[in-house]
Amino acid sequence: MKITAYAVSRRLAAGAIAAALVVLGLYGLWRLPVDYLPDITYPLVKIQIQWPAAMPGEIDTEIADPVERLMATVDRLDYLESSSMEGIYSLDVHFEYGADIDVAFQDVLAALTRAEQHLPDDIEAPYVFKADPSQLPVMQLTVSSDQWDPVRLRDWADNWLQDRILAVRGVAGTEIIGGLEREIRIELDPAAMEKHRLSLNDIIDHVGAENLELTGGRITEGPREIIARTMGEYETLEDIGSVVLIRDEHRKVFLRDIARVTDSHEDQRVITRFNGGQCVKISVLQEAEANTVQTADNVARLLEELKPELPEGLRIGYVEDQAVYVRQALTGVRNAAIAAAVLLIIVVYLFLGSARQVLIMVIALPLTLVLNFGLMKLAGFSLNMFSLGGLIVAIGVVLDNSIVVVENISRLRRESLENSTTATAVAAVDEVGPALVAATLSFLALFVPFLIVPGLISLLFRELILVISGIVVISLAVAVTLTPMITTLLLGKTRPGDESGWFAKMFSGFTEIYGRVLTRALMRRKTVIGVFLIILAAAFFLTGRLGGEFLPLIDDGRIMVKVKMPTGASVHETNRVLGRIEKQVTDDPRVESTFALAGGQVKGLTTFEVANEGQVDIQLVARAQRNISTRDYVAFLRKSLAGIQPPGGQIMARQMPIKGIKGLRAADVIVQVRGRDMEILEDLAGRTVAAVRGTDQFENVSISMDRTKPEYQARVDRTKASELGISVADVARSLRSLITGAVPTRFRDGTEYYDIRVLVPETSLTSRQNVENLIVRANEDGTIRLRDIADVTAASGPVEIIRENQVKQITVEADMAGGDLAGGVAGLQKALEQIARPAGYGFDFGGNAEMMADMKNTVFAVLGFALFFSFIVLTVQFNSIRLPALILACVPVCLAGSVFAMHAAGLPLGATVIIGVLVVVAATVNDGVLLLTHAGDLQDRQGLAAGAAVTEAAKIRLRPRIMTSVTTMMGFVPLAANMGEGGDMLQPMAVAAIGGLGMEIIVALFLMPCLYTLAHR
């Protein structure tokens, strides 16, 4: 090859070019950002609309229907997902992968504008924002103190700490929960209101009108211009209490006469604790373009700088720090990469038997990797789990091309003693160069489908695939340029026999034995082929027993204990149960920290107020400091918490899923019961729960909807109300203002503003009679109470209404009690088929089960395209259909080794296994090309028969073929051992690759030659 001749003849020029590229690569490595996952953009727009005190049924009819009807018309829509809960409507508008998020955002705004005319008048302004499920809180902090009350703690977090965190580079926003928000409360006395004939609207109007600061204009006084301004803002609580509500010649009624004004706080709807102490939690959200580790480090640096300024007794804790998880995971994978490189060099030394030849590999390996870092920087990649995984995969194959070149140079030097090392190097590359190019193109063809097949799997693995591809291309370039150049430098003055060692002599003897065994095998090729067919049948049988999953759970020590109390339970009752859970784990040395959230339901980046739900987030100590895996500790927790299950409630311990991947849920299985009528859905959901529990494969079975939330329903007599001049809207607004409270204005304290809320105190609303006695209107003609125009009855309603693509659904969640996810889903599908359901109602699987099904479709498409492209490349290379078909026919038998290894390791089939499978296919193609190309050359040049030619070619190519396969296997060994943090996700890939490569060696040694002779009969 001309490029080889140039490199070996102009060594200084080639070396200078290599040095320049190395410098650029090192700079790229220095500047590469660090993250846990690749940069994946999910086109998602969220809409949140608050309608205070509205029930889910009202929100579903008055907001969800008109909004979703118009939202369904936007372009490139994937699906709609909405939730109607008490007081809030949330809609997720999911777009197709690849959609322009800015265009999507504008389309959503336009559709919402068209829908606004159909929405209730008293809703709050819709909040619309672009969201990305991969943009997680980079850090979750807690603020606690033994000296401050919850109001002061929350106020400090809101108005002091939050402002400083928001100024940090890379921070997009914060979410603060816990503590108590300060507000000024005007607690009405219904009896006093009735006495003075005062209505709620009178009070609200007066309180709002008396709190005003307004500029009147400018006055010119001589040479000066002076601003005239009315200063009427409330300065003290006494100012509020002194508002005059009635003034006539007989009396003067102040606000303090009919209400109590207090500097108080909101109703406690959420309670948070960190390590048993009450706290306020601050979730720090990063910008879409920001790097996780850098942003977390920036926040941590700020908090360190603020320590001297913190008030006495104030403590800042860490619930979660993504930078710590990322570093632990990447350190584990990095160590695996280093171990793989060391093993690789040891194997190369054993096969080559020469320190000089090993030195060539020692130079070629880091050189190739460093050059790849430069490519990664140009492509905008980061150092993450998948790109480093690609690096480890590539480490096993990065030296294959150089090994073949060095091995061929060494062979030709032994055979042609009279030629110079330079001439021998060029001749050696000319001999194997075309085969190396063909093998590299075939290898790349295997991974092209990831760039054309849509879906989440392709997005997740894109960086991994491109890193592998980049390294393989660079390794080819190094193999045909720098490797022969370095070889001529290091071996030019040595005799060909000097590099032989004990291993080389032993392998030479093994080669002769192999030649004799292969000759006999070719004489009994039908028997050999039959044995391999039996192996293939056994693997096919075991495949159905492996089970399946989407992605393996990471042993990162993150556990969530979810508590679901009976509907109607107060937040304090939920908090009491959470306290009992905390006591169970507080003294456990394996537990690093606990965070309790009572009265909250976390969905994505938002925490919703749900009084009867809560959770305890448990963080175990680092993996090296405990003798139990996260999965096993979850099983231990489930047993220990079984004795404190609350009556009518549930306690569910689960390992937290991988964060940042859209669609992953904490529950293993989610069954979506879909239809229009809620009563029918409820019945179907109940039977679904019974079916799930009846399979004995699941635990932690729960249902998303409960229609038993107690409520008082006021049914207005329209005739009576109309005669009194009162509309249903007047009644609804009065009830909401009296019970939830109305905020007519705000109170300024320094630079901060706090709500002034007018309401009837909670202590005055303890029964249905209290609600019936609420004053709807009061004037000189008398007082009208709710009971005068409406019947108040006890009833129940739904806690939440969930819809997908405008169709209502109830979800049933469950965790695997044992066995694998694929088997559990298959069994559950059979059970659900037995449930009779009306037309228009059906079952779908969501969460991990849905993603696993999508993964299977993507994997089959990728594998099909990979084999097709390999066939095309091989057909072009051989100008024949027979030999490519022969090579690819060996692939299923090689993959049988992957099945045996996965079964022996007890690992299910998952998304990452496809990478190991493709590596096995690549090795099969590579060995096939090297063997069959040389066998064909021997037939053409020496006129040998097919059997003799393939036997001679197999002996000549034995060492490089076994060396490349073994070195590739060694690259996967550290990942398969999974000794450090972060290796769980890539372990199945490594095990599958090792098993498949082991079988591939045997296939290349015996099955391929047999098939070759069979094809040349």
Which CATH number fits the domain that encloses residue 519?
Answer: 1.20.1640.10
DSSP annotation string for 532-565: HHHHHHHHHHHHHHH-B-SSPPP-S-EEEEEEEP
Residue 415 has pLDDT above 80, yes or no: no
In this structure, the answer to whether residues 896 and 928 fall within a common structural domain is yes
3-state secondary structure of 667: coil
> Which residue(s) pair with 129 in the sheet?
46
pLDDT > 90: what percent of the chain?
A: 18
Number of other residues whose CB lies within 10 A of the CB of residue 686: 14
| CA-atom Rg of the chain in angstroms | 36
In this prediction, residues 964-990 reach a mean pLDDT of 82
Residue 122 has pLDDT above 90, yes or no: no
Of 272-286, 293-307, 616-630, 818-832, which range is least confident? 818-832
**Structure tokens, 566:** 């009976």
Residue pair 795/713 in contact by the 8 Å Cβ criterion: yes
Cα distance between residue 586 and residue 561, in whole Å? 14
Bigger pLDDT: 991 vs 979: 991
Secondary structure (H, E, C), 126-174: CEEEEECCCCCEEEEEEEEECCCCHHHHHHHHHHHHHHHHHCCCCEEEE
The predicted structure's pLDDT at residue 228: 86
Number of residues that this document lists for the chain? 1017
Banded pLDDT at 707 (limits 50, 70, 90): low
Question: Tens digit of pLDDT for each residue in 156-180?
Answer: 999 899 999 999 998 888 889 988 9
The contacts of residue 912 (CB under 8 Å, 6+ apart) are: 389, 551, 552, 985, 986, 988, 989
Bigger pLDDT: 259 vs 417: 259
**Structure tokens, 914:** 């496809």
Number of other residues whose CB lies within 10 A of the CB of residue 861: 17
What are the helix (H) ranges across 600-644? 630-641
3-state secondary structure of 978: coil
Query: Which candidate, 100, 36, 43, places its Cα nearest to that of 463?
Result: 36
* Residue 501 identity (one-letter amino acid): G
CATH code for the domain of 746 = 3.30.2090.10
In this prediction, residues 798-807 reach a mean pLDDT of 84
Residue that is last in its domain, among 108, 131, 154? 131
Domain count, the chain: 6
Banded pLDDT at 110 (limits 50, 70, 90): very high
* Main-chain phi, psi angles of 809, to 5 degrees: -150, 150
What is the DSSP pairing of strand 182-188 with strand 752-759? parallel
The predicted structure's pLDDT at residue 582: 92
Residue pair 828/853 in contact by the 8 Å Cβ criterion: no
CATH code for the domain of 115 = 3.30.70.1430
Residue 205 has pLDDT above 60, yes or no: yes
Banded pLDDT at 497 (limits 50, 70, 90): low
Banded pLDDT at 573 (limits 50, 70, 90): very high
3-state secondary structure of 748: strand
In this structure, the answer to whether residues 889 and 961 fall within a common structural domain is yes
Question: Tens digit of pLDDT for each residue in 627-648?
Answer: 888 889 998 998 888 888 888 8
Bigger pLDDT: 94 vs 440: 94
The predicted structure's pLDDT at residue 424: 81
Residue 472 has pLDDT above 90, yes or no: no
The predicted structure's pLDDT at residue 132: 66
The contacts of residue 84 (CB under 8 Å, 6+ apart) are: 56, 57, 59, 60, 63, 64, 800, 801, 802, 803
The contacts of residue 857 (CB under 8 Å, 6+ apart) are: 455
**Structure tokens, 965:** 């396969």
DSSP annotation string for 500-524: --HHHHHHHHHHHHHHHHHHHHHHT
Residue that is last in its domain, among 798, 818, 837? 798
Cα distance between residue 337 and residue 339, in whole Å? 5
Under DSSP, the state recorded for 909 is B
Residue pair 922/903 in contact by the 8 Å Cβ criterion: no
The owner of tokens 């030619």 is 949
3-state secondary structure of 353: coil
In this structure, the answer to whether residues 647 and 722 fall within a common structural domain is no
Helix axes 821-833, 678-694, angle to 10 degrees: 130
Of 575-589, 713-727, 932-946, which range is least confident? 932-946
Residue pair 334/980 in contact by the 8 Å Cβ criterion: no
872 assigned to some structural domain:
yes
* Residue 532 identity (one-letter amino acid): F
Cα distance between residue 610 and residue 568, in whole Å? 10
The predicted structure's pLDDT at residue 262: 93
In this structure, the answer to whether residues 539 and 460 fall within a common structural domain is no
Q: Report the b/e string of 780-809 with b at 16+ CB within 10 A.
A: eeebbbbbbbbebeeeebbbbbbbbeebbb
In this structure, the answer to whether residues 368 and 245 fall within a common structural domain is no
In this structure, the answer to whether residues 174 and 66 fall within a common structural domain is no
Residue that is last in its domain, among 131, 160, 190? 131
Cα distance between residue 167 and residue 157, in whole Å? 14
Cα distance between residue 83 and residue 67, in whole Å? 12
Cα distance between residue 154 and residue 177, in whole Å? 8
668 assigned to some structural domain:
no
Banded pLDDT at 481 (limits 50, 70, 90): confident
The predicted structure's pLDDT at residue 501: 62
3-state secondary structure of 706: coil
699 assigned to some structural domain:
no
603 assigned to some structural domain:
yes
857 assigned to some structural domain:
yes
In this structure, the answer to whether residues 896 and 998 fall within a common structural domain is yes
In this structure, the answer to whether residues 909 and 978 fall within a common structural domain is yes
In this prediction, residues 231-235 reach a mean pLDDT of 89
* Residue 502 identity (one-letter amino acid): W
648 assigned to some structural domain:
yes
In this structure, the answer to whether residues 535 and 563 fall within a common structural domain is no
In this prediction, residues 336-340 reach a mean pLDDT of 81
The predicted structure's pLDDT at residue 694: 81
**Structure tokens, 321:** 């720090």
In this structure, the answer to whether residues 12 and 71 fall within a common structural domain is no
Cα distance between residue 130 and residue 45, in whole Å? 5
Most confident option among 509-523, 559-573, 889-903, 956-970: 889-903
Burial class (CB in 10 A: 0-12, 13-18, 19+), 624: exposed
Q: How many helices (H) and strands (E) does the chain have?
A: 38, 31
In this prediction, residues 370-383 reach a mean pLDDT of 86
Residue 493 has pLDDT above 60, yes or no: no
Residue pair 8/425 in contact by the 8 Å Cβ criterion: yes
Residue 135 has pLDDT above 70, yes or no: no
Residue 764 has pLDDT above 90, yes or no: no
771 assigned to some structural domain:
yes
Under DSSP, the state recorded for 62 is I
Bigger pLDDT: 87 vs 62: 62
Dihedral angle of Cα 357, 359, 365, 367, to the nearest 10 degrees? -120
Residue pair 919/912 in contact by the 8 Å Cβ criterion: no
Number of other residues whose CB lies within 10 A of the CB of residue 761: 16
**Structure tokens, 447:** 């991974």
Cα distance between residue 666 and residue 656, in whole Å? 6
Banded pLDDT at 861 (limits 50, 70, 90): confident
In this structure, the answer to whether residues 550 and 577 fall within a common structural domain is no
Residue 988 has pLDDT above 60, yes or no: yes
Mean pLDDT score of the chain, rounded to an integer?
84
Cα distance between residue 887 and residue 903, in whole Å? 26
Query: Which candidate, 550, 627, 533, places its Cα nearest to that of 588?
Result: 627
The predicted structure's pLDDT at residue 534: 94
* Main-chain phi, psi angles of 346, to 5 degrees: -60, -45
Maximal CA-CA distance, the chain: 129
Q: What are the C-alpha distances in Å from 514 to residues 315, 952, 958?
A: 71, 11, 9
Bigger pLDDT: 144 vs 33: 144
In this prediction, residues 504-531 reach a mean pLDDT of 85
Cα distance between residue 309 and residue 316, in whole Å? 12
**Structure tokens, 475:** 């390794």
* Main-chain phi, psi angles of 764, to 5 degrees: -95, 0
The contacts of residue 355 (CB under 8 Å, 6+ apart) are: 349
Banded pLDDT at 120 (limits 50, 70, 90): confident
Residue 658 has pLDDT above 80, yes or no: no
Range of the domain at 991: 503-554+847-1016
> Which residue(s) pair with 657 in the sheet?
none
Residue pair 140/319 in contact by the 8 Å Cβ criterion: yes
Cα distance between residue 135 and residue 868, in whole Å? 37
The predicted structure's pLDDT at residue 496: 53
CATH code for the domain of 284 = 3.30.70.1320
Residue pair 468/394 in contact by the 8 Å Cβ criterion: yes
813 assigned to some structural domain:
no
In this structure, the answer to whether residues 550 and 562 fall within a common structural domain is no
Bigger pLDDT: 424 vs 576: 576
In this prediction, residues 125-153 reach a mean pLDDT of 84
Type and span of the H or E element at 892: helix 891-905
The predicted structure's pLDDT at residue 930: 77
The predicted structure's pLDDT at residue 664: 67
Residue 614 has pLDDT above 80, yes or no: yes
Query: Which candidate, 288, 150, 268, places its Cα nearest to that of 605?
Result: 288
3-state secondary structure of 806: coil
Cα 804 off chain centre by: 21
Type and span of the H or E element at 298: helix 292-306
